[in-house]
């Protein structure tokens, strides 16, 4: 028997020589984890037991932090593997979508006077745009989405997103805002930030079918101060914390461990694809932030998003001079694309616009064409990911020999994820797949209009 601070006896069972962990509440109410060991000894010539107690609270906290880090590392590795697979599939799918969009555009032009057939081609185009939006979600999960970051105030995005959803929340859900008026700025793609907010708000709404309270809060936090309490991957120092919490059904431990898995959902068939939190995870990780979810069955759910403060102030973005005339021209274009269907489509489109087009399936073939070409090549249009030499390296190689040549990179990947081997392409024009043929023609014309020799 041992006597607690309250003076009461507590019966403890132990095996001699073994250690036992005890939770002890101190007089002030603090919980202490102690390790007790009992051994046989002799006291005043009689057999006795000696019990030793050691406070191991700090060790237990360190073990818990290590466990959290190991779990996050395991989850990050799993997500990275699935993300690479999703990104690769999305890249290939973007090639197909580019071809479908392009040929449906061409059909619409040639069927302009045949309303019935023109409507079929238009429906193909509309469905392809919907498929492209789904691919963007996959790329967001894989952290390979094309980013257009801006300096943003998260409060403004919260209000805009809530206005979009207010009618669909219903009268049975009470929306409560706790907004920090002097919130720090963040650097993010506004479309991505809105994706995060929409997914979190919709999940919170769906967790409260019978009604409840949906709370949205923003705050400035210093992770140097929070770090001892929790393990976070966000950069230390000043961060913006976005919180979305609900009083809904809560989440059990068996679901918590799978929350960020793509296509995992607890919703009924047709009610969700299971990409919501996977997309949120990908976007937050892509922006060097972190996400923390706390929940328990029947206790609601709280989601914290940590977003680092912007490292720079907003600066004006110089826009290229838009073309005044129709996007067509008579310049020579070197097209390098390893996908035969996409290459044929782009070549046909540019030739219809009046350009003289040389096409190659890879960098080696493109270099040989340049050597054989007597006339100057005005523009290089190249895919980024290709067998052998990639697009940016090819562009840097050719423009070093032909300084007047402009370059336009095209890819289904984010340009930020492709800046590995060459920094020379940082200033090159970029067009993300899938794109329409009008978008391609516009971008080609803009790049040529901003070249020293003009279009």
Which DSSP string corresponds to 330-356? Answer: --EEEEE-S-HHHHHHHHHHHHHTT-E
25: in domain: yes
Helix, strand, coil percentages in the chain from 3-state DSSP, rounded to 5: 40, 25, 35
Of the listed ranges 69-78, 87-96, 444-453, the one predicted with least confidence: 69-78
CATH number of the domain where residue 113 is located? 1.10.287
Regarding whether 173 and 136 lie in a shared domain, the answer is no
Distance CA 377, CA 405 (A): 6
Q: In this predicted structure, what is the pLDDT of residue 319?
A: 44
Regarding whether 351 and 298 lie in a shared domain, the answer is no
| Residue 374 banded pLDDT, cuts 50, 70, 90 | confident
Pairing of strands 2-3, 9-10: antiparallel
Query: Average pLDDT of the chain?
Result: 78
Q: In this predicted structure, what is the pLDDT of residue 121?
A: 84
Regarding whether 36 and 50 lie in a shared domain, the answer is yes
pLDDT per position as a tens digit, 199-218: 898 888 888 988 899 999 99
Residue scoring higher pLDDT (146 or 298): 298
320: in domain: no
108: in domain: yes
Mean pLDDT of 310-326: 50
CATH number of the domain where residue 248 is located? 3.30.565.10
Token digits of residue 362 = 């890879």
Regarding whether 96 and 47 lie in a shared domain, the answer is no
Nearest to 145 by CA among 190, 202, 200, 201: 190
Regarding whether 303 and 154 lie in a shared domain, the answer is yes
Using an 8 Å Cβ cutoff, are 444 and 328 in contact? Answer: no
pLDDT per position as a tens digit, 387-403: 889 899 999 999 888 88
Nearest to 154 by CA among 189, 175, 183: 183
Residue scoring higher pLDDT (143 or 77): 77
431: in domain: yes
Distance CA 226, CA 222 (A): 7
CATH number of the domain where residue 433 is located? 3.40.50.2300
Q: In this predicted structure, what is the pLDDT of residue 375?
A: 84
Number of CB atoms found within 10 A of residue 161's CB: 19
Regarding whether 302 and 160 lie in a shared domain, the answer is yes
Q: Could you list the residue range(s) of the whole structural domain that residue 294 is in?
A: 150-308
Regarding whether 289 and 225 lie in a shared domain, the answer is yes
Regarding whether 26 and 94 lie in a shared domain, the answer is no
Distance CA 433, CA 319 (A): 21
16: in domain: yes
Regarding whether 168 and 257 lie in a shared domain, the answer is yes
278: in domain: yes
Note the pTM of the prediction, 2 decimals: 0.49
Regarding whether 297 and 231 lie in a shared domain, the answer is yes
Q: In this predicted structure, what is the pLDDT of residue 322?
A: 44
Regarding whether 176 and 40 lie in a shared domain, the answer is no
Contacts 24+ apart (CB under 8 A), 44-53: 49/16, 51/2, 53/22
| Residue 4 banded pLDDT, cuts 50, 70, 90 | very low
pLDDT per position as a tens digit, 6-22: 445 455 566 666 777 87
104: in domain: yes
The last residue of one of the domains, among 292, 308, 324, is 308
Residue 69 has pLDDT above 60, yes or no: yes
Q: In this predicted structure, what is the pLDDT of residue 364?
A: 93
pLDDT per position as a tens digit, 88-142: 666 677 778 888 888 888 888 888 888 888 888 888 888 887 777 666 666 655 5
275: in domain: yes
Q: What percent of the chain lies above the pLDDT cut of 70?
A: 73
Q: In this predicted structure, what is the pLDDT of residue 71?
A: 67
Peptide bond into 434 cis (omega under 30): yes
Using an 8 Å Cβ cutoff, are 333 and 444 in contact? Answer: yes
Regarding whether 281 and 135 lie in a shared domain, the answer is no
* Total structural domains within the chain: 4
Q: In this predicted structure, what is the pLDDT of residue 47?
A: 84
């Amino acid at each position: 028997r041992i006597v607690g601070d309250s003076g009461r006896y507590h019966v403890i069972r132990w095996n001699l020589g073994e250690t036992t962990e005890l939770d002890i509440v101190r007089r002030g109410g603090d919980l202490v984890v102690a390790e007790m060991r009992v051994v046989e000894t002799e006291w005043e010539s009689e057999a006795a037991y000696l019990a030793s107690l050691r406070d191991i609270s700090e060790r237990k906290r360190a073990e818990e932090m290590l466990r959290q880090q190991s779990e996050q590392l395991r989850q990050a590795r799993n997500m990275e593997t699935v993300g690479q697979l999703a990104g690769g599939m999305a890249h290939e799918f973007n090639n197909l979508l580019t071809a479908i969009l392009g040929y449906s555009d061409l059909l619409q032009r040639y069927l302009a006077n045949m309303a019935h057939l023109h409507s079929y081609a238009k429906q193909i185009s509309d469905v392809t745009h919907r498929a492209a939006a789904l691919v963007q979600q996959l790329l967001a999960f894989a952290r390979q989405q094309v980013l257009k970051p801006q300096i943003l105030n998260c409060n403004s995005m919260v209000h805009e997103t809530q206005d979009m959803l207010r009618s669909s929340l219903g009268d049975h859900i009470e929306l409560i805002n706790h907004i920090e008026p002097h919130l720090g700025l963040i650097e993010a793609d506004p479309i991505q930030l809105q994706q995060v907010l929409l997914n979190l708000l919709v999940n919170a709404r769906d967790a409260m079918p019978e009604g409840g309270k949906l709370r949205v809060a923003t705050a400035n936090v210093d992770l140097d101060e929070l770090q001892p309490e929790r393990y976070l991957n966000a950069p230390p120092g000043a961060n913006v914390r976005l919180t979305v919490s609900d009083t809904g059904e809560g989440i059990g431990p068996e679901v918590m461990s799978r929350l960020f898995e793509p296509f995992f959902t607890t919703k009924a068939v047709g009610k969700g694809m299971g990409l919501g939190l996977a997309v949120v995870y990908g976007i937050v990780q892509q922006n060097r932030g972190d996400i923390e979810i706390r929940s328990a069955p029947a206790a609601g759910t709280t989601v914290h998003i940590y977003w680092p403060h912007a490292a720079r102030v907003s600066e004006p973005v110089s826009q290229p001079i838009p073309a005044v005339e129709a996007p067509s021209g008579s310049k020579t274009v070197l097209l390098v694309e390893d996908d035969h269907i996409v290459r044929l489509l782009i070549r046909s489109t540019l030739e219809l616009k009046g350009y003289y087009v040389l096409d190659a399936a890879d960098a080696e073939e493109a270099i040989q064409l340049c050597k054989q070409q007597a006339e100057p090549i005005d523009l290089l249009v190249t895919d980024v990911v290709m067998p052998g030499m990639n697009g940016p390296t090819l562009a840097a190689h050719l423009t070093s020999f032909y300084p007047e040549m402009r370059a336009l990179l095209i890819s289904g990947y984010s340009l930020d994820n492709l800046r590995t081997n060459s920094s020379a392409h940082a200033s090159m024009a970029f067009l993300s797949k899938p794109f329409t043929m009008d978008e391609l023609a516009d971008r080609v014309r803009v790049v040529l209009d901003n070249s020293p020799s003009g279009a």
